[in-house]
Structure 1
């Protein structure tokens, strides 16, 4: 995955999803890798669908329902877009979206800006709620939500990785 860093210091949703899935559900990394070839808008459309239609990913969405990756991606995408909409004029956003479709350009990756403790709590609540609605157990939902918030909080602290820094040499 890319570095995920932007000039505003935010992280892309896809990079946070990859990191969280690698931590809590490494068996889902092939799904994340398969989705990486699509732009964020396409990924959200595909993961947000319900029903038994076969998808180009090689399986129907019925198999995706009880997975962590869709939960994390959908919630973070929603949060990132909501925060961006609060900053950007909606008319300008719609104009860019229409122009992108006409020119057949992929949408820009969704970036998560700096998050307040209240926003982190809301994201955690949404992850748990979405995970439960998609058939994950309460324990699994809590584990995923904790990993998402930990990853985002580490990014806020200026350290996008959970590993401790290398010891200084004297």
Structure 2
């Protein structure tokens, strides 16, 4: 599966892809953690990373047990933002039924995706990452670097959405023959002789 899934004409990036890209840029020493988390579905990762404990969680996989600090901040904030913005678009009853069915059939939960974000939404995600990072003991400068990296990755997804929308509009126009309502090139709807 590609990192960007097309849904109803918009590009949606998976939360795990945002996290992978940001960690690779800002904290490459945590890349093995991302690889280890790949075996879990998104809901399990959020439960694992969201556990209360020390500021610097120790995960029991990867080369040696490393202190994980960036991954939880990015994953939890981006996941929360994606859910708040409706990427898991289902009402409570439908979501509950799906969850029960997944448990009965022992299937993984659906991957959480982030829709294209407006500039205001991007600023809010930036603020949330900054708050979460400083709340976990990051120095302000490092928290800014992390928040900027998340915002840049999400902006890339938004740019891809705009490009795809423009391409689709051009394709639709080409399929229509470039006409805006006239049935013939002359505009009189009569057959050529």
TM-score w.r.t. length of structure 1 = 0.82
Deviation at 1:51, TM superposition (A): 2.6
1:150 is matched with which residue?
Answer: 152
In 2: Cα distance, 1:20 partner to 1:28 partner = 10
Deviation at 1:60, TM superposition (A): 7.4
16, 23, 35: which one pairs with 1:14?
16
Number of residue equivalences: 155
Mapped contact 2:88–2:113 kept (Cα < 8 A): no
Please tell me the root mean square deviation across aligned C-alpha atoms, in Å: 2.3
Deviation at 1:55, TM superposition (A): 5.0
Mapped contact 1:54–1:60 kept (Cα < 8 A): yes
1:163 is matched with which residue?
Answer: none
1:123 is matched with which residue?
Answer: 125
Deviation at 1:84, TM superposition (A): 2.0
2:31 is matched with which residue?
Answer: 29
Instruction: Give the alignment of 1:50-61 within 5 angstroms.
Output: 50-51=52-53, 56-57=60-61
Mapped contact 2:79–2:112 kept (Cα < 8 A): yes
36, 42, 45: which one pairs with 1:43?
45
Structure 2 CA distance for partners of 1:86 and 1:103, relative to 1, 3 Å: closer
Mapped contact 2:99–2:109 kept (Cα < 8 A): yes
Deviation at 1:156, TM superposition (A): 0.8
Q: Larger C-alpha radius of gyration, 1 or 2?
A: 2
Mapped contact 2:87–2:114 kept (Cα < 8 A): no
- Gapped runs of 5+ residues in structure 1? 160-170
- Gapped runs of 5+ residues in structure 2? 162-193
Mapped contact 1:39–1:106 kept (Cα < 8 A): yes
* 3-state SS in 2 of match to 1:6: strand
